[in-house]
Amino acid sequence: MRVKCVICDSINELPDYSPEAKKLRNRPIHTYMCPICHDRISERTNARIATGRFIFRKKHSLVEDEF
């Protein structure tokens, strides 16, 4: 399966029966990112986390506590 990176527009080949290819075929909202772009983004994110000023914004669940 030929796939295109959403960031750098490079075209790569994925095996047809790999889990990632199946995910891309069955759920079009999922996008492909090449390993180079993925590594670059993860390095920069980890560097931002290491500064100590990075805050994770997580959704709070609206589950009521039982008393």
Residues of the chain with pLDDT under 70: 60-67
- pTM of the entire predicted model: 0.66
Rounded to 10 degrees, the C-alpha dihedral 40/45/51/56 comes to 180
The pLDDT, as a whole number, for residue 36 is: 94
pLDDT reported for residue 57: 79
Using CA atoms, how far apart are residues 9 and 7, in angstroms rounded to an integer?
6
Please give the radius of gyration of the chain, using alpha carbons only, rounded to the nearest integer. Answer: 18
